[in-house]
Amino acid sequence: MDLGSNFPAKLEPYLLMAKGLKGAAAAKLIQDATSAPGVFVFSELLELPNIQELGKSEQHGKFLSSLQLFSYKTYQDYVSHKDLLPPLNEAQTTKLKHLSIVSLAADRRILPYADLLKALDTPTIRELEDLIIDAIYLDILRGKLDQKEQQLEVEYTMGRDLEPGKLEEVLAALHNWAETTSSVLATLDAKIQEIAKESEAAKQSELEHEKVLQATLKEVFEKQKEKALGGGNMMNRRLLERDRDGMFMDVDEDAGKSKNRKATDGFRVSGLCLCSRFFSGGKKPGL
């Protein structure tokens, strides 16, 4: 739920009672509404014709000023014009200080304790922090107390009623905000497109690099394969040549051994024949 979204409902009973009230009764109603817990917006009550008529009364005109004070002014405005306003009770004083914090936060997000102490006429930091904590619990603002830095860091606040003549300023501020936002968005879009192009270019470069790498690896693999196959063929040829040389050598050796056997066998036969002749004829061999 947004801050202050239930505040108009808290004002509703006073709007119903205000119909037809005039003079002192209307002034008393203003006092009750500005003192009531949870009532922080007053524009609808302020716009009622019978409430506006109080401004014409010298006796009750200050109560209309009091309602204007709670609608869009601050505690410092009360201090500056205290003589022209009815006195505030304790509940009204606390509520006006809460609303003053909201107004101060509209100009800046960081509120130093020193500025708050002065603006709210609060004597001690302890009282100031209690006031801020109560405002947070009442759903008037969201923020964090930084005791080390002695400051209030405001996240966001409720919206107060607009002072007459301020609507144009708010519209101008919103217009400037819209233009600034559009400019920032345009800059962000351009940056996003630039990043997208750079990302796409990097992706394409990576793909090209990967393609070149794969081609290089394939080329190296093919060369190693060819080299391996070439070395194997050379070895096979050498083995074949060695086997062939060995075969020829074996044939020559076998042929030589055969000749030697034949010569030896012939010698043996010749010797036997000579011995046979010698013993049969009585002659010595070789004589």
96-148 residue pLDDT tens: 999 999 999 988 899 999 999 999 999 999 999 999 999 999 999 999 999 99
Can you tell me whether residue 9 is helix, strand or coil?
helix
φ and ψ of 184, to 5 deg: -65, -45
Mean pLDDT of 159-185: 84
Whether residue 35 has pLDDT greater than 60: yes
The residue among 237 and 42 whose pLDDT is bigger is: 42
Average model confidence (pLDDT) across the chain:
83
**Sequence-separated (6 or more) residues with CB below 8 Å from residue 20:** 50
DSSP single-letter state for residue 42: -
Predicted local confidence at residue 238, as pLDDT: 63
**Helices (DSSP H) in the chain: which residue ranges?**
7-18, 23-35, 43-46, 49-52, 61-72, 75-80, 90-105, 113-120, 125-137, 167-281
